[in-house]
Structure 1
Amino acid sequence: MLALEVKGLTAGYGPVTVLHGVDFSAGPGRITCLMGRNGVGKSTFLKCLMGLVPASGGTITLNGTTLQNLPAHEVPRHGLAYVPQGRRLFGPLTVAENLAVGGLVRGNDLATLDHVLTLFPRLRERLAQTAQTLSGGEQQMLAIARALCLQPKVLLLDEPTEGLQPSMITLIQQAILTLKGQGVAVVLVEQRVDAVLKLADRVAFMAAGRVAETREIKGMAADDPVFRTYVGV
């Protein structure tokens, strides 16, 4: 059963159209990676799914519920959570306060909070620490944890390991695989081929504002020509 299904999605900024009829799907317990060169619309696509960029055409359906006409603040209630590139935390607030903001939609359920802190035990040790004093990797953990307080069916991650040290990348990748095992549909924007081969079940390659090709990861290798076609410089 598909958790998320997108058909013919068109969107942009003012007179500039960025997405030209995107077709895409993501299923529970699977990681779908979005790949493509800079400027092809990957981040705009995630923002459009969340209602942050209005859709001018097409449909977004999550478990049978149509989302494309909802205001942005209503979208998370239906099970879609987003971790943007650059994290966008509330820097002066503590770890606990950032998580509480994330949990507002679900009434700050204590069991959900405990589940999130079990996934990221380092955050449990830093609940009273302000977000702006965390390391880059810890901030990324907090951004993901805050999104998970929504109890999402689909988690959208925009380059979550960009600029992090290898040990932190490993911890975050392990958390993503754990979420997959728990039945969450993960949509991951990722540019590094080694990470995609390690994490993905499927890869959707974007070009010129469309999903040009979707491939199952099984049987793919780092030297597969498709990576050079859609990601290589």
Structure 2
Amino acid sequence: MLALEVQGLTAGYGPVTVLRGVDFRAEPGQIICLMGRNGVGKSTFLKALMGFLPVASGTILLDGMPLHGLPAHDIPKRGLAYVPQGRRLFGPLTVAENLAVGGLVRGNDSATLDHVLTLFPRLRERLTQIAGTLSGGEQQMLAIARALCLRPKVLLLDEPTEGLQPSMIALIQDAVRTLKAEGVAVVLVEQRVDAVLKLADRVAFMVAGRIEEVMPVKDLSPDADVFRTYVGV
């Protein structure tokens, strides 16, 4: 089974090294959560996967094909999609226009758009609404939907439920479970232990720019020592 496989990844910002020999693997049809204290490199890792940061050393393979060294605009074409923390929508554009931007790589076919709107039916009702006027939860749905217009093999989500009300969190978690069932590999940065235990198949704990430990969720409980050790909760 092919997957996203990272070996020995070192990267950072200019002279500052943040990621130090990261080894990581995301499997099709599984959700792997990336946890760790603030500043350990979780968001930096996602940015490096997407080509936003130069890779100093190491490899990034998707289905056996190298992504490291590719320009950032080519990586989505290979099947990697990214929803950053803070959403970064085109606020003045409509919902439909934001989705069209997301679909440019794949040619904006109607079947993909219909699939995305079936996953997030609330967006179907708001296609003509300006994105900047949506609620926070609806904006997060749109950010995920825009990424899914790429028809990705791997979806990277950076704290997608941060600051949202429980009903919106539940809707987004349901969508992520559906993607898992469809065979998408989901890499989720998440700090809330309850959410991780509900969603994830495995948890990768990051410390100081390295993956220190990877554990199956079935071996974890809410009061497991690893959460206190690596996340501080």
- For Structure 1 versus Structure 2, the TM-score category normalised by the shorter chain is over 0.9
Task: Find the residue that maps to 1:111 and give its secondary structure.
Answer: helix
CA RMSD of aligned residues (A): 0.6
Could you say which residue in structure 1 is the equivalent of 2:86? 86
Could you say which residue in structure 2 is the equivalent of 1:20? 20
Could you say which residue in structure 2 is the equivalent of 1:207? 207
Could you say which residue in structure 2 is the equivalent of 1:33? 33
Structure 1 gap ranges (5+): none
Deviation at 1:219, TM superposition (A): 2.6
- Tell me the alpha carbon deviations over residues 173-194 of structure 1, each in whole angstroms, 9 at most, x when there is no partner: 0000000000000000000000
Q: After the TM superposition, which segments of 4 or more aligned residues of structure 1 sit over 6 Å from their partners?
A: none
Structure 2 gap ranges (5+): none
Task: Find the residue that maps to 2:161 and give its secondary structure.
Answer: coil
Overall identity of the aligned pairs, in %? 80
Could you say which residue in structure 2 is the equivalent of 1:176? 176
- Tell me the alpha carbon deviations over residues 78-115 of structure 1, each in whole angstroms, 9 at most, x when there is no partner: 00000000000000000000000000000001100000
Partners of 2:74 and 2:14 lie apart in 1 by: 23
* Matched ranges for 1:39-54 at <5 A: 39-54=39-54
- Tell me the alpha carbon deviations over residues 135-184 of structure 1, each in whole angstroms, 9 at most, x when there is no partner: 00000000000000000000000000000000000000000000000000
Task: Find the residue that maps to 1:86 and give its secondary structure.
Answer: coil
Q: Tell me the number of residue pairs that the alignment of Structure 1 and Structure 2 aligns.
A: 233
Within the alignment, does 1:152 sit opposite 2:127 as a pair? no
Deviation at 1:3, TM superposition (A): 1.4
Partners of 2:93 and 2:176 lie apart in 1 by: 25
* Matched ranges for 1:75-224 at <5 A: 75-224=75-224
Deviation at 1:54, TM superposition (A): 1.1
- Tell me the alpha carbon deviations over residues 23-77 of structure 1, each in whole angstroms, 9 at most, x when there is no partner: 0000000000000000000000000000011111000000011001000000000
C-alpha contact (below 8 Å) 1:2/1:25 kept by paired residues = no
Task: Find the residue that maps to 1:56 and give its secondary structure.
Answer: strand
C-alpha contact (below 8 Å) 2:48/2:55 kept by paired residues = yes
C-alpha contact (below 8 Å) 2:24/2:211 kept by paired residues = yes
- Tell me the alpha carbon deviations over residues 5-38 of structure 1, each in whole angstroms, 9 at most, x when there is no partner: 0000000001100000000000000000000000
C-alpha contact (below 8 Å) 1:2/1:26 kept by paired residues = no
Partners of 2:232 and 2:185 lie apart in 1 by: 27
C-alpha contact (below 8 Å) 2:2/2:64 kept by paired residues = no
- Normalised by the length of structure 1, the TM-score is 0.99
Partners of 2:41 and 2:219 lie apart in 1 by: 27
Task: Find the residue that maps to 1:23 and give its secondary structure.
Answer: strand
Partners of 1:219 and 1:12 lie apart in 2 by: 33
C-alpha contact (below 8 Å) 1:52/1:72 kept by paired residues = yes
Partners of 1:180 and 1:72 lie apart in 2 by: 25
Partners of 2:48 and 2:181 lie apart in 1 by: 27
Partners of 1:3 and 1:213 lie apart in 2 by: 19
Indicate how the Cα distance of structure 1 residues 2 and 224 shifts in structure 2: closer, same or farther if over 3 A, else same: farther
